[in-house]
Structure 1
């Protein structure tokens, strides 16, 4: 689960996107949650410049056809790829096949991300981490899909 959704202050602006939900509380009590912030795991600072995927989505970044750039133009694609690999490693190590990630993030967006113009416009697409996990068979959900994620957890764990 994205660390910011668990209240950890790891977002680019030093904030969090804490989700208060009985299902998440149950998952925590059952020991089902592994927390990760791909950007922080890759060594990016808190706070850090906002970043967006330029001219593409997470799949395009994984294919080498797009870059993640900070506001101001600095490419940070390698850090986003490294963070995605950390998240995938955690999924593999702990046999995780369902992830709940922060929507709109250039790492964690599951269905919608910002368009790369830093104007607040959103487009359909996954972030880099979400795309990598999806490519490897992990079902990705966002913070607005907790109930659906819970159904997926129970469908896969029996």
Structure 2
């Protein structure tokens, strides 16, 4: 059985980032997976009704799991609290992934939603730090293997291992 992958829409060329840009990384592998109907292209922020463009938003002095637990906030650069929008974005990403049978996610790093290795520190100074965004944290908590856009080789290896194991066990 072919592994389904939730993938950030901006990585597939959709101009849905906060500044109405894309972060396209259409590698040969992503094109092949798209042709094999493995990819579930999704923008959590757009699904939650956030506009494009929108103000930059950062998790204030915390991580995505703290935000999902109600212990931290996500603020826009003008100080507006948009925590509820981003929590909804995370839940919608999880629902989309589960309904489509995704076992992995390839997400845009740095985002307060999709960051899986790094996020911005909440100061709007361009400083990044280790951490996960809200969707990355929630997906991981529910057993979906999360990879950053910088970890495509690791995702490829993980999928090959999963599919090899399923062939060996007959699952």
TM-score by length of 2: 0.90
**Which residue does the alignment assign to 1:103?**
109
**Which residue does the alignment assign to 1:51?**
57
1:44: Cα distance to partner? Answer: 0.4
CA deviation map 1:108-148 (0-9, x unaligned): 00110000000000111000000000000111001111111
2:135 to 116, 129, 135: 129
**Which residue does the alignment assign to 2:44?**
38
1:83-102 alignment runs, 5 A limit:
83-102=89-108
1:117 aligns with 2:156: no
1:64-83 alignment runs, 5 A limit:
64-83=70-89
Query: What is the distance in 1 between the residues matched to 2:162 and 2:95?
Result: 19
Query: What is the distance in 2 between the residues matched to 1:14 and 1:50?
Result: 11
**Which residue does the alignment assign to 2:155?**
149
Larger Rg: 2
Unaligned runs of 5+ in 2: 1-6, 167-171
SS of equivalent to 1:84 = helix
SS of equivalent to 1:8 = coil
Q: Which moved more, 1:5-14 or 1:146-155?
A: 146-155
Query: What is the distance in 1 between the residues matched to 2:9 and 2:18?
Result: 12
Equivalent residue pairs, number: 158
Unaligned runs of 5+ in 1: none
CA deviation map 1:66-105 (0-9, x unaligned): 1011001101111111111111011111111100000000
Flag the structure with higher strand content. 2
**Which residue does the alignment assign to 1:24?**
30
SS of equivalent to 1:141 = strand
**Which residue does the alignment assign to 2:20?**
14
SS of equivalent to 1:90 = helix
1:106: Cα distance to partner? Answer: 0.4
Query: What is the distance in 1 between the residues matched to 2:117 and 2:65?
Result: 12
Q: In 2, are the aligned partners of 1:98 and 1:152 still within 8 Å (CA)? A: no
Query: What is the distance in 2 between the residues matched to 1:21 and 1:147?
Result: 11
